[in-house]
Amino acid sequence: MGPKRAELLDKNLGIRTYHDLLYHFPTHYVDRTTIRRIVDFQGADMPSVQVRGRFVTFNVQGEGAKTRLTGLFSDGSGVMEVVWFQRIKFLREHYHTNTEYVVFGKPTQFNGRWSMVHPEVDAPGAPGAQEGFRGVYPLTEQLRNRGFSSKTFSTAVTTILSGMTVLSETLPQHIIARHNLLGIRDALVNIHTPSSPQMLERARMRLKFEELFYLQLDIQRYARRRSSTTQGLYFPRIGKFFNTFYSDFLPFPLTGAQKRVIKEIRADMATGRQMNRLLQGDVGSGKTLVALLTMLIALDNGTQACLMAPTEILATQHFETISKMVAPMGVNVKLLTGSTRRKAREEIDTQLTDGSLHILIGTHAVIEDRVRFRNLGFIVIDEQHRFGVAQRARLWTKNTTPPHVLVMTATPIPRTLAMTVYGDLDVSVIDELPPGRKPVQTLLRYDEERFATYQGIGRQLRKGRQVYIVYPLIKENEKLDLRSLEEGYENICDTFRDYRVAYLHGKMRPEEKDYQMQLFATHQADILVSTTVIEVGVNVPNATTMVIENSERFGLSQLHQLRGRVGRGGEQSYCILMTKRKIAKDTRKRLELMTATTDGFEIAEADMQMRGPGDIEGTMQSGIPFDLHIANLATDGQIVQLARDTACAVLDADPSLAAPENSLLVRQLALLSSRLKDWSRIS
C-alpha cells in the first residue's frame, strides 16, 4: 500500500497486518450484478446502484477548500451530476469525456436533478465493475477523503489471498467436517468477495461459528478447570438455624419453584466443590427468601454469610426484612454501606473477625479489601447485572477456601447471552410466582390524557393504596430531567393535597434518600415521586399503581424492572406508561409489547432483538471479554448453541485437549487470549 496509506489505515482502523486486513469484514453487500437506468431512479432513499454511460462535460467550480468537480453523466436514458470535493486535479487528469465508464454510488435528488457524490468509477469489465456481490466496508471520513473506498479493501484482500499459497486452517478438520463448514480460505474469500449469496451465507456461518466456538471453549475450559482444581467448602449439614426457621418462622409456605431451587443449591454446597450458581427469577418471584434460607445452611455449617445489593436502598430493605425474620432465632445480622458510621463499622469489624456476626448485608462496601471475615462460607449477590467473571473471582479471596457464590437476577437474560456472560455458572430458575398474584395491568397513555391518569391515582389512594410516579433521570439530560422531576412533584402535591407525597432521587444524600424511602415503605407517605433509583428490588406490597413519565425514554428491561415494583401483593395493580403522542415506530412497538405481556423472558428476548445485546442493561460489561467481531448474540442464538455443544463435546472427549487432533485448538486459544483481555485470570 505504501507507507503513507499504511499509516492511515493503522491510525483510522487499527489495521497493521495482513491478518487485520483479512478480518476487517464488510458490514453489508451491494448487488453489482445489474446496471440500472437513470430514468428509473426514484425515491428519497435509494440504495447504491451502478450506471453505465459517458461523461458529457466536466466542470470545476469554486476556489480553495471549496473547489468541486462536477461531471455531467449520461447513460442514454437520462443525465445525472457526479460530484467530487477531493482529489480534483488527479481525477480531472484520469477521467475523460466520451469514454465508457461504470459509475457506482448512491443517487440523491436535488431540485429535480439526480446526482452522485464521490462514486466509484471503473472502466466496464475492469475488476470491481459488475462483479456481482460486493462488500461495503466500514470507513472513516478521513480514509474516504484520502481516496480509500470499499474497492480499495476488496482489491487489497484479493491480492493478499491470492498471494498466500498457504493459509493455515484455524479450526481442526474434524470440526469442519462434522458441521460441513467452509475452509478458512473459502470463508475469507467469500466474506470479502462472495461468489453468490449462498456462499456468502456459508462464509458467515463458518466465521461466526469459529468466533463463538473459541469463546465457548474458553469459557467451558475455564469452568471445568475451576471446578476440578478449586477446593470448595463442604456443607453436609442442615441444622438448627435452617430447621428452626423453616418450622417456626417461615412467613408463608414456599412455592414449588422456591423449594426446588433451594434443593439445588443445597445439593451443590454438599459436593465439596465450590458452588458458582446463577439464580434467575422474575421480579416478585421471591428470591430474597431463597437467599435467606440458603444463608442459614451456611450458618448451620459454622460459617458466616454475606448478601450484597446494588443500592443502599435495597441493602437497607434486605437488612430490615431479614433481620426482622431471624431476630427471634438469635441470628446476628448487620448492615454495612458507604454511609455506615465509624463506630458502627468498628463494631462490625470486630464481630466479623471474632465470628459473632452471622450475616453481613450491604452494598459494594462489603467486598472491599479491608472487610475481613473470620470464616465466610457463602456470598449472595443480588441484582447485579454488572458482576462479571473477574469480579466474582475476587470474592473467592475472601476466605482461604473460596466461599460459595450465588448470583441472583431478575433481569431475565436471554439464553444465548446467559450462555456467554454467565457461561461458566450453573443456573437455577424460579419459574413460578407466589400464589394469588394478579398480573399487572399496563396501559399506554398520551400526555394529554393525564387527567384520566390522575383520576385513576385518586381511586387507588381512596382505597388506601400507594402510588409510585417515576421520572427519567439521564446523565446527558440531567438538568432538564431534574427540573421536570421537581415540577412533577409540585404538580402532584397540588393535585393530591390530602395525601402525603415522598420525593426521591439519586442525587440526594444517602440519609435523605433513606428517610424518604422509609416514609413510603411505612405508609407515612401515599405517593412516591422518584427517579429510577427504585428500579430494582424495592418491595412495598401495598403500592398498586405505578405511573412512568416519559416512558418512551426507557428500555424494555428497565420498564419491566420498574413495573415489578407493583403487583407484589394480592391487589390488582396498574402500570401506566405516559408518553408524548409523537414517538418513533420502534418505540411504540416497545411500549405496546409492555402492555401485552408481563413475561420477563419474552421482554428480555424482544429487548435484545430490538436493541442488540450491547445495550442490555450493561450485561456486556459484565462478562464478555471482547467485542464479537462477526457473530451477534441477538440473532445468532442457534450458532451459540451449536458452538457450545461442540465445545462441550470436545472437552468431554479430551478434557485437557491433549489429543493430536486438538493441538490446533490449544494454539488458537493461546493466540486468542494473547490478543484478548485475559478474563479468566483470577486477580
Q: Which is nearer to ligand ADP, 280 or 416 (CB)?
A: 280
Q: Choose between 399 and 532: whose C-beta lies nearer to ligand ADP.
A: 532
Between 82 and 325, CB nearer to ligand ADP: 325
Q: Which is nearer to Mg ion, 313 or 647 (CB)?
A: 313
Q: Which residue has the cell 418462622?
A: 249
CA triplet 319, 325, 331: central angle to 5 degrees? 80
For the CB of residue 110, give the shortest distance to Mg ion in the complex, in Å.
Answer: 57
Which helix (H) or strand (E) is 361 found in, with range?
A: strand 359-362
Nearest distance from C-beta of residue 636 to ligand ADP, angstroms:
30
95: Cα separation from own chain's centroid:
49
Task: Identify what 579 binds: ligand ADP, Mg ion, none; CB under 5 to 8 Å per kind.
Answer: none
In contact, 26 and 149? CB cutoff 8 Å: no
d(C-alpha 436, C-alpha 424), whole Å? 35
Q: Minimal CA–CA distance to 41: which of 90, 99, 1, 81? A: 81
Nearer to Mg ion, 381 or 492 (CB): 381
Q: How far is the CB of 249 from ligand ADP (least distance, A)?
A: 13
For residues 438 and 572, is the Cβ–Cβ distance under 8 A?
Answer: yes
Residues numbered 523 to 542 that lie near Mg ion (CB under 5 A) are 537
Q: Nearest approach, Cβ of 411 to Mg ion (angstroms)? A: 11
150: partner contacted, choices Mg ion, ligand ADP, none (Cβ within 5-8 A by kind): none
- Kindly state the smallest distance separating residue 263's Cβ from ligand ADP, in Å: 15
427 contacts which partner out of Mg ion, ligand ADP, none, CB within 5 to 8 A by kind?
none
Task: Pick the closer one to Mg ion by CB: 377 or 537.
Answer: 537
Residue window 537-566: x/- pattern of binding to Mg ion, with contact defined by CB under 5 A:
x-----------------------------
Q: Answer with the entry of ligand ADP, Mg ion, none that 289 interacts with (C-beta below 5 to 8 A by kind).
A: ligand ADP
Partner in contact with 600, chosen from Mg ion, ligand ADP, none, beta carbon below 5 to 8 Å by kind: none
Smallest separation, CB 384 to Mg ion (Å): 11
Footprint (CB under 5 A) of Mg ion, residues 247-266? none
Smallest distance from the beta carbon of 287 to Mg ion, in angstroms? 5
The entry of ligand ADP, Mg ion, none that residue 505 binds, CB within 5 to 8 Å by partner kind? none
Q: How many CB atoms lie within 10 A of CB 74?
A: 15
Output the smallest distance, CB 433 to ligand ADP, in A. 8
DSSP code at position 405: E
Total residues contacting Mg ion by CB under 5 A comes to 1
In angstroms, give the least distance from the CB of 513 to Mg ion.
Answer: 18
Helix (H) or strand (E) holding 478: helix 478-495
Decide whether 35 or 254 has the Cβ nearer to ligand ADP. 254
> Within its chain, how far is the Cα of 256 from the centroid?
31
Q: What distance in Å separates the CA atoms of residue 46 and residue 116, rounded to the nearest whole number?
A: 11
| Residue 284 binding partner per list ligand ADP, Mg ion, none, with a CB distance cut-off of 5 to 8 Å that depends on partner kind | ligand ADP
Number of Cα atoms under 13 Å in the Cβ half of residue 304: 25
List the Cα angle 208/214/215 in 5-degree steps.
90
> Element (H or E) spanning 107, and its range?
strand 107-110
Residue 540 interacting entry, from ligand ADP, Mg ion, none, C-beta within 5 to 8 Å by type: none
Comparison of 407 and 578: residue with beta carbon closer to ligand ADP = 407
Measured from the CB atom, the residue of 232 and 286 that comes closer to Mg ion is 286
- The item of Mg ion, ligand ADP, none sharing an interface with residue 458, based on CB under 5 to 8 Å by kind, is none
Q: Report the nearest approach of Mg ion to the CB of residue 285 (Å).
A: 9
- The footprint of ligand ADP (CB under 6 A) covers 252, 254-255, 258, 281, 283-289, 410, 434, 537, 539, 541, 568
Q: In whole angstroms, how close is the CB of 563 to ligand ADP at the nearest point?
A: 12
With CB under 5 to 8 Å by kind, the binding choice for 207 among Mg ion, ligand ADP, none is none
Query: Which CB, 285 or 619, lies closer to ligand ADP?
Result: 285
Distances (CA, A) of 98 to 7, 51, 53, 71, 79: 37, 15, 9, 12, 14
Report the residue number, 285 or 442, with the smaller CB distance to Mg ion: 285
Per DSSP, the residues of 434-455 read PTT--PPEEEEEEGGGHHHHHH
Is the Cβ of residue 281 or residue 625 nearer to ligand ADP in the bound state? 281
Distance CA 364, CA 367 (A): 6
Helix (H) or strand (E) holding 28: strand 28-32
DSSP 556-618: HHHHHHHHTTSS-SSS--EEEEEE-S---HHHHHHHHHHHH---HHHHHHHHHHHH-GGGSTT
Nearest residue to ligand ADP by CB is: 286
Distance CA 377, CA 621 (A): 27
Shortest distance, position 530 Cβ to ligand ADP, whole Å: 18
Pick one of ligand ADP, Mg ion, none as the site partner of residue 440 (Cβ within 5 to 8 A by kind). none
State the minimum distance, in angstroms, from the CB of residue 330 to ligand ADP: 22
Which residues are CB-contacts of 641 (< 8 A; sequence separation ≥ 6)?
Answer: 416, 419
Q: Is residue 567 a contact residue for Mg ion (CB under 5 A)?
A: no
How many whole angstroms separate alpha carbon 489 and alpha carbon 469?
9
- Which strand ranges, in their side-by-side order, compose the sheet holding 68-74? 107-110, 113-117, 79-84, 68-74, 49-61, 100-105, 120-122
Kindly tell me which of 254 and 329 has the beta carbon lying closer to ligand ADP: 254
Q: Contact, 454 vs 493, CB < 8 A? A: no
**What residues from 116 to 145 belong to the interface with Mg ion (CB under 5 A)?**
none
| CA-based R_g, the chain, Å | 31
Q: List all residues 6 or more positions away from 253 whose beta carbon is below 8 Å from its beta carbon.
A: none
What does the binding site for Mg ion look like in residue numbers (CB under 5 A)?
537
